Each structure stands twice: as structure tokens, then as C-alpha cells.
Amino acid sequence: MSSSIATRRSSPRSSSALLIRAEAPWHRVEHGAPTGDRVPLLSALRPELGWPHWLLRLPMQWRGGATYERLPIDWQVAPFVAPAIGQPGEPWRFLVDVAMFPPAAPRSAGADGHADREVHEHGGSEDDVGGLSELSDMGDLSDAGDDEPTMNGLLLLALYLEPRALAMEGEHRGVMHDLGDAELREQVEWALDELFDLPPHRWAHGFVPSPGEHDDAADLASDGVCFALAACQYPPGILDVSPGCELDPSQAGPALASLARLHRFTRSTALGRSCSLVLFAGDLIYADASGGLADSRSGIERYARGYREFKAGPARLLPPTVARIVHGVDDHEIVDNWEPSHGRGTEANGPWFDAARQAAWDHRWEAGARVGGPETFWYDFAWRGAAFFVADARCEREARRVANWSTARMWSEVQRDAFAQWLTRSAGQPRFMMSGSLPLPRRRTTVEHPASCLRSDAWDGYPHSLHELLGEVWRQRASGLVFLSGDEHRSGWVSADITAVDGQGEAPVRIHSVHSSALYAPWPFAITAVEELAAPDVFEFDGPQGRRLRCEVSAWADHPGDGFAVLRARGGEVELWFDRAGRASDAPDAKWVSER
């Protein structure tokens, strides 16, 4: 069923005549690269509404900020086919034909045809929406220009029968109320009128850009890649309500303030509009938020519900220019500082490990196929000319004890070899390795006594694996590699030079380690003190080819407080900013050469 574009009805309609309600999905609609002639999509439907009767695909144009326009192209509605497995609210993966998407918007779009389109915005533009005209606390940090992006795509909506229509089914002994083509067309248009009376943050997360739109947007933004790094979102409590933060991020309470600033930054600033990727370095949920005092004993309540509620929160408001979201698993998504014990088989992993790992896999952000599975969370991908390796520094750990602290593994040999192959393939590109756990710097306790690594949850807690990591970076001369992590609830960065002790004329291999603080960490005792970090630091270890290597770590550049990090790689350089409430300076907090 299709319908041409219609103007909004000026005549009043009776609410009793409306039999259909249009609702956006519960979560932001994620999309993957087309597979053949179909686009893989991922979302979830509102659990309290049950399964819809129809799925509506409405051609729309996003014109930046909070401005959306209906395109003069027919919409399509089709009966909704419920998945064979799952319930409303669970991850919903489906495919849409490429032919159903409108053509990508020409870069000169915006000057033609507006009179034939229906504009849906709240207050006219973001300049009028409760403070969203204000720049992020990070300011307007890009010279990419102030032009708003323009993208064509589909607004995906679920169509539900109103209770009155369901009652009518009862009158007809359960037979579906027959809506003819004309009546259905009219009902859909009325339902859209009601939906578009609401502000865009209530429905815009159902927008999916047409295939090819992000390639054009990348050309407009600038060369290189810009992305955000965040981690550790302690769940809001019953008193952490933030009414109005979707329209005005300054209204967000402490629990949602960082996510609200991330939303404003990506939607309202020039640098943010070039931010095409968001990396979550673990602890999206806190399954053990009460430390066992009141945590659920149900695996669904403990894990799956947390992921679903996170995706239904401010994360769903990220704009279409954020084309991909990546997540790495860390300890609080299982249990605090999880590592296996000395039992056998599944007993060593504890009662929650398998349920936690399966929930993390089921709720992954990728709409399309991804290498791995519930037992393999590490993988690599290329993005806008940069190379990324998402390491699993949590689920492959070996049990540690006094007898094996120097040989226990944090990552498997298979993952180690995959990392080495990735370094080989990605030579000459900006390279980033993301790990929930901090690779550098080490803990002071580990420096003072090596066996104290047993008390460290970071990479230095597994010195054998840390030395493998650094040794491989040195062997492949991977200067410019940036480690990304986020478990310590404290932002900062260090640089490190890796050299051979015998000094045979080889230039040092310089790498960098960026750690993003928590999005929300309310408990001071859970924040790593800067005095615990050994920086500056110098240590030696046995490297590949029988060489003895030395690692010299710089002083720690500290940036305390809740927030997120932004990195931009372009022109052979990597720039770094740390977001904070009240930040005044636009200058980068650090800048390095990305490849030497």
C-alpha cells in the first residue's frame, strides 16, 4: 500500500474515528552495509505495546538539527511479520530492500522543492529548541563549516490498532476490522499527523539514511575520521529523572549529563557533525550495581534489561551522522573485576558468565554480520581510512594465582595472532586498538613488586600478555598506534617509546594510550586515584626475536570528571579532546603524529 505526499489536514478529526496509532521503535535504528539488494537493520519495538499490525516506511529528508521533511515519494505499508523467536522489546533484526529507500540527497538539496514538502520540526530549528543552539561545552572545534548535513532516508514506524479497533474485532467475533485501501490511507495519514504533532525526539530515531548517504557526508565533513570514546554508565536511580533533557541537555541530572552532552555535541557542533563513530569501551550496564545487595537473580533482568534500557535512553538520540556504534565488553557487564577462578569447566567462570556473555552478544550494536560470536568478542574493522581492533581483554582471561602470575594470559593466543595480523594489514593507516582494560600506564603497586599484579585488573595484572602486546607493536614498528580504554573512571593519556635495550640504531616506536573516564561514576571510591598510576615509568621486558625491550612511559596528563573523549585523525595527525561540563577552551588537549 502506498500513498502520495499529503498536506496536513486543516479540518478537525474525531479521535473516536482514529483506528491506527503510529509509533517509532523503542531503540535507534542501526543499519549495516547493504548485502546484495537488501539493507540489514537493527532496532527493538516497545515491549508494552506488543507486536504491531503493520510496518510503515515513510520517505523523509533530515536537514540537520531537529528538522525533518517528508519527501514527495509514496510511502509503503506492509503487514508486520513477527520474528519466529523473541518478544517485543528484544533485539529485532530485519532486512529492507535497497529499492525502497529514496535516492541519496544531492549535495545542493535544500534549495529546490521545499514548497512541495512537509516540514516537521520542533520550534522551527535547533536554534529554538531549549538551548540546543548553544554549542557543546567543547565548542565549535572544527573548520568543516557550518552547513547542516542533508540526508534522505526512510522513517520506520510501527502501526498499532487503537483499543477501539481491537474492541471492534471483538464485535466481529475476532475477525480483523476490514480497512479498505482508501480508509487505510486516510487512517495512516491521520496517525502521521498525530505523531508529527510531537517533538522530533519522540520519533526521529526511527530514521534510517539511504545507502550511500554516509559516503557523501564523509566527503563533506573533511578528510580523515572523527569519533567519540566513552565508557562506564552507572544506571540512573529512581531519583535521577531528567525531564526535558532531550530538548535541553542542561536539564539533565548527573546520571545522564554526559550522554546528553554527547547528544548535543554530535548534533549541534561542526566537529560533532563530522563524528561518524561512537566507541563504548565497556560497562554499558552495571549488572552488579548494588554490589549484590539487591541485584536481580534473573539473567534477563540482570543483563538483557540493562542493555535494552541503555539503548532506549539518550543513546537513541544520536543523529544520523553517527553511522556506527561499537561496544566492547568489560567487567560490570558480568560482575565487578570478573576473572575465572580455579575451578573446572563452567564452574570456574561463576554462575553468571554464560548468561552475561550471551546477553552482550544478543544486544550487540551491529545490524549486519559480524565476525565472532558469544565466545569471540574481538574483531577488527576499517572506518573512514582508519583501522580499528576491538580487543577482548575480559572474557578470555586465565585464572591467576601466586604460582602463575608471570605467565597467565589476559587474551588467547588466537586473539594475539589476530592482533598481529591486523597490525600487518593496517600498516600506513591511523590505527586504534580499543580495550576495556587500561594497557598503559601500569599501577604503582605492580612497579614496586611484580607479584602485586595479582591485585590489578588492568593489562599490567597480566604482565605476560602486556609484554606480548607491546612486543608485537615494536616488532612491526607500529608507531602512531593509539590504545583506547575506559575502566578506571578517570580520563587522561600517556605516550610511550618502545626501544631495544641493545640500542642497535633503531628509532623508538612511539605509541599513545588514551583513557576515557566514566559517563557517570557516582562513587568516589570506584575512581582510580592519579597517585595509583605509575607515570612516568620505565620498565624492561623480553620481546620477540630474543631481544630485550625497554618501554618509557611519559607523565600522565590528567583530566578528571565524568564525560567522554573525542579523537580526530586527519592529515597525519591525531587530535584529542576531553569533554567536561563547563569546558571553555576549544584547543585540543593533545596532538600527535599518527604514523611515522
For the segment 508-563, what is each residue's pLDDT rounded down to a tens digit? 999 999 999 999 999 999 999 999 999 999 999 999 988 999 999 999 999 999 99
Torsion of the alpha carbons at 422, 428, 434 and 435, rounded to the nearest 10 = 60
For the segment 67-94, what is each residue's pLDDT rounded down to a tens digit? 999 999 999 999 999 988 889 999 999 9
Pull the grid cell for residue 403.
604460582
Query: Looking at domain 222-593, what is its CATH homologous superfamily?
Result: Alkaline phosphatase D (PhoD) (3.60.21.70)
Omega of the bond leading into 374 within 30 degrees of 0 (cis):
no
Check whether 7 has a pLDDT greater than 80.
no
Count CB neighbours of 248 within 10 A: 17
First to last CA, the chain: 58
10 Å CB burial of residue 33 (0-12, 13-18, 19+) is: exposed
Residue 1: predicted pLDDT: 46
Residue at 518: amino acid letter: A
Residue at 552: amino acid letter: E
**Could you tell me the pLDDT band of residue 119, with boundaries at 50, 70 and 90?**
low
Q: What is the C-alpha separation between 388 and 205, in angstroms, rounded?
A: 26
In what helix (H) or strand (E) does residue 61 lie, and over which residues does it extend? strand 54-62
Burial readout 75-105 (b: 16 or more C-beta within 10 A, e: otherwise): bbbeebeeeeeeebbbbbbbbbeeeebbebb
Q: Domains of the chain: which residue ranges?
A: 2-110+150-209, 222-593
**Are the CB atoms for 75 and 189 separated by under 8 Å?**
no
For the segment 169-211, what is each residue's pLDDT rounded down to a tens digit? 555 444 455 667 788 889 999 999 999 999 999 999 999 999 9
Residue 294: predicted pLDDT: 67
Query: What one-character-per-residue DSSP string does 445-457 give?
Result: HHHH-GGGGGG--
Q: Average per-residue pLDDT in the chain?
A: 86
Q: What is the C-alpha separation between 367 and 319, in angstroms, rounded?
A: 17
In what helix (H) or strand (E) does residue 184 lie, and over which residues does it extend? helix 181-196
Q: What is the C-alpha separation between 266 and 279, in angstroms, rounded?
A: 13
CA 361, 364, 366, 372 dihedral sign is negative
Count CB neighbours of 221 within 10 A: 24
Residue 342: predicted pLDDT: 83
Closest by CA to 229, choosing from 275, 297, 172, 288, is 275
Q: What is the C-alpha separation between 154 and 322, in angstroms, rounded?
A: 16
Distances (CA, A) of 37 to 7, 67, 357: 32, 29, 32
E strand map for 255-362:
275-280, 324-327
For the segment 463-483, what is each residue's pLDDT rounded down to a tens digit? 999 999 999 999 999 999 999
Omega of the bond leading into 441 within 30 degrees of 0 (cis):
yes
- Lowest model confidence (mean pLDDT) among 19-28, 220-229, 310-319: 220-229
Residue 398: predicted pLDDT: 95
For the segment 293-325, what is each residue's pLDDT rounded down to a tens digit? 667 777 778 899 999 999 999 999 999 999 999
Check whether 52 has a pLDDT greater than 60.
yes
Angle between helices 463-475 and 413-425 (to 10 degrees): 20
Pull the grid cell for residue 379.
574483531
Q: What is the C-alpha separation between 159 and 169, in angstroms, rounded?
A: 16
Residue 245: predicted pLDDT: 85
565-570/2-3 β-pairing: unpaired
Residue at 144: amino acid letter: A
In what helix (H) or strand (E) does residue 359 lie, and over which residues does it extend? helix 353-362
Q: What is the C-alpha separation between 501 and 510, in angstroms, rounded?
A: 15
**Are the CB atoms for 120 and 196 separated by under 8 Å?**
yes
**Could you tell me the pLDDT band of residue 433, with boundaries at 50, 70 and 90?**
very high
Query: What one-character-per-residue DSSP string does 368-398 give?
Result: S--S-BTTB--EEEEETTEEEEE---STTPP
Q: Which of residues 369 and 326 earns the better pLDDT score?
A: 326
Check whether 111 has a pLDDT greater than 80.
no
